[in-house]
């Protein structure tokens, strides 16, 4: 049987106590009552983190905690406050549980290098943050564009929650500076990698949600994404977010009852470090667009954009001629 010897609303304090007991050969376990639904109406900060030991060790554990906790916990919370205080100021949110923020900033490379096994990476928080972000963005788009099609809203959502978009938002708050990386990832420039920045941004959102509830999470999302959604109305939104021209071209051709487009590399120019790809796109064997890019993918997107403009212009002209007749 086990007995709880310590309880706190700060996960960092519970982990400090666990480490203290383990250092004195007392096996301890941290458990949490933190189990809100995915999207509660409000999360009131009533979570608790308990530390338990075997019944026969409870007296010794309580004595150790009484003699060490106040000084150790205060020092750890002070360390965290000094390290992440500037980030809290940037995002406009002050954490009640700084341990959540530290957890959100811990990349798996740091956790893998910790021999004690006491460091947990942010991948679970990233998963939760992705869900919270998707929910809030979907609600924002539903409210902003009530008469637009599902496809239109889906394209906007896909663009603004893409890895590149999240990485740019992470850069805007200097998030990379605070991410906790392993030595190897640090040496390879992990602080500026889009994937790490995007994942950390989602984990940060999850930490805000768990610490302050859905209202705090929504406020954070609105502050960062509202300008992207509402940057000049429908026309600008459509121009800004419709950037997957290959998908657009394919959908347009299918709507016209035509076959799928085919992309061919017509030429590759320049030295290895400065190559230019010349790509042509064909629809039913007919060349409809051609463009150059620094990569094959870039050239294909540009060629698809050119083809789509050409085909839409031709369709509009045909429609005008038909109406005039």
The residues assigned a catalytic role are 130, 202
User: Each residue of 174-186: b (16+ CB within 10 Å) or e?
Assistant: ebbebbbbbeebe
Q: Are 150 and 182 in contact (CB under 8 A)?
A: no
CA distance 124 to 207: 11
DSSP 204-228: HHHHHHHHH-HHHHHHHHHHHHHHH
Q: Are 48 and 10 in contact (CB under 8 A)?
A: no
Q: How far is CA 163 from CA 15, 157, 201, in A?
A: 32, 12, 10
239, 237, 218: which is closest to 228 by C-alpha? 237
DSSP code for 39? S
CA distance 232 to 146: 17
Q: Are 34 and 210 in contact (CB under 8 A)?
A: yes
């Amino acid at each position: 049987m086990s007995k709880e010897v310590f309880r706190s609303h700060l996960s960092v304090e519970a982990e400090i106590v666990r480490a203290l007991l383990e250092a004195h050969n007392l096996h301890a376990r941290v458990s949490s009552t933190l189990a809100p639904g995915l999207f509660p109406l409000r999360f009131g900060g009533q979570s608790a983190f308990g530390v338990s030991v075997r019944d026969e060790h409870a007296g010794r554990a309580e004595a150790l905690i009484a003699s060490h906790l106040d000084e150790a916990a205060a020092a750890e919370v002070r360390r965290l406050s000094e390290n992440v205080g500037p980030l809290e100021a940037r995002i406009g949110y002050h954490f009640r549980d700084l341990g959540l923020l530290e957890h959100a900033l811990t990349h798996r490379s740091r956790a893998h290098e910790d021999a004690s096994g006491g460091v947990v990476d942010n991948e679970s928080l990233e998963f939760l943050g992705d869900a919270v972000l998707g929910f809030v963005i979907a609600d924002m788009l539903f409210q902003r564009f009530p008469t637009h099609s599902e496809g239109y809203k889906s394209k906007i959502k896909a663009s603004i929650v893409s890895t590149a978009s999240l990485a740019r938002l992470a850069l805007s708050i200097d998030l990379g500076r605070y991410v906790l990386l392993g030595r190897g990832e640090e040496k390879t420039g992990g602080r500026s990698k889009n994937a790490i920045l995007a994942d950390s941004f989602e984990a940060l959102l999850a930490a805000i949600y768990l610490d302050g509830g859905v209202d705090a999470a929504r406020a954070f999302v609105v502050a960062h994404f509202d300008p992207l959604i509402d940057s000049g109305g429908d026309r600008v939104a459509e121009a800004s977010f419709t950037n997957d021209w290959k998908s657009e071209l394919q959908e347009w051709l299918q709507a016209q009852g035509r076959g799928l487009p085919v992309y061919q590399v017509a030429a590759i120019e320049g030295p290895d470090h400065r190559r230019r790809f010349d790509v042509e796109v064909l629809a039913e064997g007919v060349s409809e667009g051609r463009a150059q890019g620094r990569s094959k993918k870039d050239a294909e997107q540009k060629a698809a954009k050119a083809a789509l403009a050409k085909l839409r212009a031709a369709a509009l002209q045909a429609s005008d001629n038909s109406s005039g007749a």
